[in-house]
Amino acid sequence: MGLTRRSGGSRAMQEGFLKRQYSGADYVVALAGNPNTGKSTVFNALTGLNQHTGNWPGKTVLRAEGRYIHRGMIFKLVDLPGTYSLMANSPEEQVARDYLCFGKPDATVVVADATCLERNLNLVLQVLEITTRVVVCVNLVDEARRKKIKIDFQLLAAELGVPVVPAAARHRHGLDKLVEVVSEMAAGRITTRPVAIRYGEEIEESVRKLEPKIKKLVGEEFNSRWLALRLLDKDRAVLAALENWLAGRNSLAAGMEGVILG
Protein backbone atom coordinates (compact mmCIF):
# COMPACT_ATOMS: atom_id res chain seq x y z
CA MET A 1 0.00 0.00 0.00
CA GLY A 2 1.41 3.35 -0.98
CA LEU A 3 2.00 5.88 1.73
CA THR A 4 1.53 9.09 -0.16
CA ARG A 5 -1.73 10.94 -0.47
CA ARG A 6 -0.44 13.10 -3.28
CA SER A 7 2.23 12.49 -5.82
CA GLY A 8 3.41 16.07 -6.23
CA GLY A 9 2.52 19.74 -6.02
CA SER A 10 3.47 22.42 -3.55
CA ARG A 11 1.38 20.89 -0.77
CA ALA A 12 2.83 17.43 -1.26
CA MET A 13 6.08 18.07 0.62
CA GLN A 14 4.34 19.85 3.43
CA GLU A 15 1.71 17.17 3.84
CA GLY A 16 4.29 14.46 3.59
CA PHE A 17 6.26 15.87 6.48
CA LEU A 18 3.39 16.61 8.81
CA LYS A 19 3.41 14.37 11.87
CA ARG A 20 -0.36 14.24 11.84
CA GLN A 21 -0.01 11.92 8.88
CA TYR A 22 1.31 9.29 11.29
CA SER A 23 -1.95 8.88 13.11
CA GLY A 24 -2.02 6.23 15.75
CA ALA A 25 1.58 6.61 16.86
CA ASP A 26 2.64 8.09 20.17
CA TYR A 27 6.06 9.09 18.84
CA VAL A 28 7.74 9.45 15.46
CA VAL A 29 11.38 8.44 15.16
CA ALA A 30 13.58 9.09 12.12
CA LEU A 31 16.31 6.63 11.20
CA ALA A 32 19.26 8.18 9.37
CA GLY A 33 22.70 6.99 8.38
CA ASN A 34 25.26 6.44 5.68
CA PRO A 35 24.65 3.60 3.21
CA ASN A 36 25.97 0.19 4.32
CA THR A 37 25.96 0.95 8.04
CA GLY A 38 23.35 -1.68 8.84
CA LYS A 39 20.59 0.94 9.05
CA SER A 40 18.11 -1.35 7.30
CA THR A 41 19.07 -4.16 9.67
CA VAL A 42 18.22 -1.92 12.61
CA PHE A 43 14.95 -0.94 10.95
CA ASN A 44 13.96 -4.54 10.23
CA ALA A 45 14.98 -5.76 13.68
CA LEU A 46 12.85 -3.13 15.40
CA THR A 47 9.76 -3.21 13.20
CA GLY A 48 9.65 -6.84 12.05
CA LEU A 49 6.79 -7.29 9.61
CA ASN A 50 5.06 -4.07 10.66
CA GLN A 51 6.32 -2.13 7.65
CA HIS A 52 4.98 -0.21 4.68
CA THR A 53 6.85 1.09 1.67
CA GLY A 54 6.12 3.72 -0.94
CA ASN A 55 7.67 6.84 -2.40
CA TRP A 56 8.29 10.19 -0.76
CA PRO A 57 5.82 12.84 -1.94
CA GLY A 58 6.87 14.21 -5.32
CA LYS A 59 9.97 11.98 -5.43
CA THR A 60 10.95 8.61 -6.83
CA VAL A 61 12.89 7.92 -3.63
CA LEU A 62 11.81 4.83 -1.71
CA ARG A 63 10.27 5.45 1.66
CA ALA A 64 9.84 2.84 4.35
CA GLU A 65 8.19 3.16 7.70
CA GLY A 66 7.18 0.73 10.38
CA ARG A 67 6.02 0.47 13.94
CA TYR A 68 7.16 -1.06 17.15
CA ILE A 69 5.76 -1.00 20.67
CA HIS A 70 7.80 -0.22 23.76
CA ARG A 71 6.34 0.02 27.24
CA GLY A 72 2.86 0.22 25.77
CA MET A 73 3.73 3.15 23.51
CA ILE A 74 3.59 2.97 19.72
CA PHE A 75 6.67 4.27 17.90
CA LYS A 76 6.54 5.07 14.20
CA LEU A 77 9.98 4.50 12.67
CA VAL A 78 10.70 6.37 9.43
CA ASP A 79 13.66 4.93 7.52
CA LEU A 80 15.30 7.85 5.71
CA PRO A 81 17.35 7.24 2.54
CA GLY A 82 20.96 6.34 3.21
CA THR A 83 23.10 9.43 2.61
CA TYR A 84 26.66 10.58 3.19
CA SER A 85 25.63 14.17 3.86
CA LEU A 86 22.62 16.48 4.08
CA MET A 87 23.82 18.98 1.51
CA ALA A 88 20.93 18.14 -0.84
CA ASN A 89 23.16 17.19 -3.75
CA SER A 90 20.80 14.32 -4.56
CA PRO A 91 17.07 13.63 -4.11
CA GLU A 92 17.93 11.20 -1.30
CA GLU A 93 19.91 13.83 0.59
CA GLN A 94 17.19 16.43 0.12
CA VAL A 95 14.49 14.06 1.36
CA ALA A 96 16.49 13.14 4.45
CA ARG A 97 17.44 16.73 5.23
CA ASP A 98 13.97 18.20 4.69
CA TYR A 99 12.33 15.51 6.77
CA LEU A 100 14.67 16.07 9.70
CA CYS A 101 14.00 19.82 9.56
CA PHE A 102 10.34 20.07 8.60
CA GLY A 103 9.07 16.65 9.71
CA LYS A 104 10.18 17.37 13.26
CA PRO A 105 10.44 13.78 14.46
CA ASP A 106 10.37 13.26 18.22
CA ALA A 107 13.78 11.62 18.03
CA THR A 108 16.36 10.83 15.37
CA VAL A 109 18.61 7.78 15.40
CA VAL A 110 21.77 8.13 13.35
CA VAL A 111 23.30 4.74 12.59
CA ALA A 112 27.09 4.84 12.23
CA ASP A 113 29.52 2.10 11.21
CA ALA A 114 31.95 1.28 14.04
CA THR A 115 34.57 0.11 11.53
CA CYS A 116 34.79 3.52 9.84
CA LEU A 117 33.39 5.78 12.50
CA GLU A 118 35.31 8.92 11.64
CA ARG A 119 33.85 9.03 8.13
CA ASN A 120 30.34 8.44 9.47
CA LEU A 121 30.61 11.27 12.01
CA ASN A 122 30.33 13.79 9.18
CA LEU A 123 26.64 12.95 8.82
CA VAL A 124 26.17 12.82 12.60
CA LEU A 125 27.48 16.38 12.93
CA GLN A 126 25.24 17.59 10.11
CA VAL A 127 22.19 16.03 11.77
CA LEU A 128 23.15 17.67 15.07
CA GLU A 129 23.05 21.03 13.31
CA ILE A 130 19.36 20.44 12.55
CA THR A 131 18.02 18.74 15.65
CA THR A 132 19.15 18.23 19.23
CA ARG A 133 17.03 15.13 19.79
CA VAL A 134 19.54 12.65 18.47
CA VAL A 135 20.70 9.20 19.52
CA VAL A 136 23.80 7.81 17.80
CA CYS A 137 23.72 4.06 17.25
CA VAL A 138 27.25 2.80 16.60
CA ASN A 139 26.50 -0.42 14.74
CA LEU A 140 28.77 -3.28 13.67
CA VAL A 141 30.75 -3.21 16.91
CA ASP A 142 31.35 -6.96 16.47
CA GLU A 143 33.12 -6.25 13.17
CA ALA A 144 35.11 -3.48 14.84
CA ARG A 145 36.28 -5.84 17.58
CA ARG A 146 37.46 -8.33 14.98
CA LYS A 147 39.50 -5.55 13.42
CA LYS A 148 40.95 -4.60 16.81
CA ILE A 149 39.21 -1.23 16.71
CA LYS A 150 38.56 0.18 20.17
CA ILE A 151 35.95 2.90 20.72
CA ASP A 152 35.42 4.83 23.94
CA PHE A 153 31.64 5.22 23.73
CA GLN A 154 31.36 7.32 26.86
CA LEU A 155 33.94 9.77 25.57
CA LEU A 156 32.23 9.84 22.18
CA ALA A 157 28.90 10.66 23.82
CA ALA A 158 30.53 13.40 25.87
CA GLU A 159 32.18 14.92 22.80
CA LEU A 160 29.00 14.80 20.69
CA GLY A 161 26.71 15.88 23.53
CA VAL A 162 24.10 13.21 22.75
CA PRO A 163 23.61 9.55 23.80
CA VAL A 164 25.66 6.91 22.01
CA VAL A 165 24.53 3.27 21.97
CA PRO A 166 26.84 0.51 20.68
CA ALA A 167 25.09 -2.28 18.78
CA ALA A 168 25.48 -5.34 16.59
CA ALA A 169 22.03 -5.20 15.03
CA ARG A 170 22.24 -8.44 13.05
CA HIS A 171 22.62 -10.26 16.38
CA ARG A 172 20.16 -7.89 18.08
CA HIS A 173 22.89 -6.87 20.51
CA GLY A 174 22.34 -3.41 21.92
CA LEU A 175 18.86 -2.95 20.44
CA ASP A 176 17.06 -3.19 23.78
CA LYS A 177 19.24 -0.37 25.08
CA LEU A 178 18.69 1.60 21.87
CA VAL A 179 14.90 1.31 22.18
CA GLU A 180 15.05 2.42 25.80
CA VAL A 181 17.21 5.47 25.09
CA VAL A 182 15.08 6.44 22.07
CA SER A 183 11.98 6.21 24.24
CA GLU A 184 13.51 8.57 26.80
CA MET A 185 14.65 10.95 24.07
CA ALA A 186 11.25 11.00 22.35
CA ALA A 187 9.51 11.67 25.64
CA GLY A 188 11.81 14.60 26.34
CA ARG A 189 13.39 13.03 29.42
CA ILE A 190 16.94 13.35 28.10
CA THR A 191 18.68 16.70 27.87
CA THR A 192 21.30 16.96 25.16
CA ARG A 193 24.04 19.48 24.50
CA PRO A 194 25.11 18.79 20.92
CA VAL A 195 28.56 19.92 19.92
CA ALA A 196 28.29 23.21 18.03
CA ILE A 197 30.13 23.47 14.75
CA ARG A 198 31.68 26.91 14.34
CA TYR A 199 32.61 28.41 11.00
CA GLY A 200 34.80 31.34 9.97
CA GLU A 201 34.15 34.71 11.56
CA GLU A 202 32.63 36.15 8.40
CA ILE A 203 30.04 33.37 8.28
CA GLU A 204 29.37 33.52 12.01
CA GLU A 205 28.82 37.27 11.80
CA SER A 206 26.30 36.80 9.00
CA VAL A 207 24.54 34.09 11.00
CA ARG A 208 24.32 36.39 14.02
CA LYS A 209 22.57 38.99 11.87
CA LEU A 210 20.26 36.59 10.06
CA GLU A 211 19.27 34.22 12.86
CA PRO A 212 17.10 36.66 14.88
CA LYS A 213 15.13 37.57 11.76
CA ILE A 214 14.45 33.92 11.00
CA LYS A 215 13.50 33.19 14.59
CA LYS A 216 11.02 36.05 14.42
CA LEU A 217 9.32 34.27 11.51
CA VAL A 218 9.44 30.65 12.66
CA GLY A 219 9.74 30.99 16.44
CA GLU A 220 11.01 27.80 18.03
CA GLU A 221 9.51 25.57 15.36
CA PHE A 222 12.81 25.07 13.55
CA ASN A 223 16.52 25.45 14.17
CA SER A 224 17.03 29.05 13.12
CA ARG A 225 20.84 28.77 13.07
CA TRP A 226 20.70 25.88 10.63
CA LEU A 227 18.18 27.74 8.47
CA ALA A 228 20.44 30.80 8.48
CA LEU A 229 23.37 28.68 7.29
CA ARG A 230 21.28 27.16 4.52
CA LEU A 231 20.00 30.54 3.35
CA LEU A 232 23.52 31.94 3.35
CA ASP A 233 24.36 28.97 1.13
CA LYS A 234 21.54 30.15 -1.17
CA ASP A 235 19.71 26.87 -0.73
CA ARG A 236 16.54 27.49 -2.71
CA ALA A 237 15.01 24.13 -1.76
CA VAL A 238 15.05 25.17 1.89
CA LEU A 239 13.66 28.59 0.99
CA ALA A 240 10.80 26.98 -0.95
CA ALA A 241 10.02 24.59 1.89
CA LEU A 242 10.03 27.47 4.36
CA GLU A 243 7.71 29.52 2.20
CA ASN A 244 5.34 26.56 1.96
CA TRP A 245 5.40 26.16 5.71
CA LEU A 246 4.82 29.86 6.29
CA ALA A 247 1.98 29.91 3.79
CA GLY A 248 0.45 26.91 5.54
CA ARG A 249 0.56 28.77 8.82
CA ASN A 250 -1.04 31.82 7.20
CA SER A 251 2.12 33.67 8.02
CA LEU A 252 3.85 36.37 6.08
CA ALA A 253 5.60 34.22 3.52
CA ALA A 254 6.66 37.32 1.66
CA GLY A 255 8.69 38.30 4.69
CA MET A 256 11.30 35.69 3.82
CA GLU A 257 12.29 37.75 0.81
CA GLY A 258 13.04 40.65 3.10
CA VAL A 259 15.08 38.44 5.39
CA ILE A 260 17.26 37.23 2.59
CA LEU A 261 17.70 40.54 0.87
CA GLY A 262 17.94 42.55 4.07
Separation of CA 15 from chain center: 17
What string of pLDDT tens digits covers the 262 residues of the chain? 333 333 333 344 444 444 444 458 999 999 999 999 999 999 999 999 788 888 888 788 888 999 999 999 999 999 999 999 988 778 888 889 889 988 889 999 999 999 999 999 999 999 999 999 999 999 999 999 999 999 999 999 999 999 999 999 999 999 999 999 999 999 999 999 999 889 999 999 999 999 999 998 888 888 899 999 989 988 888 888 888 888 876 544 455 555 554 4
Q: Which fold has domain 8-187?
A: Rossmann fold (3.40.50)
> What is the pLDDT at residue 169?
97
Closest CA to 108 of 76, 85, 131, 82: 131
Q: Is residue 218 within a helix (H) or strand (E), and if so which, with residue range?
A: helix 201-218
Closest CA to 77 of 67, 85, 87: 67
Encode pLDDT of 117-164 as tens digits: 999 999 999 999 999 999 999 999 999 999 999 999 999 999 999 999
Do 51 and 66 contact (CB within 8 A), yes or no?
yes
Identify the three-state secondary structure at position 154. Answer: helix
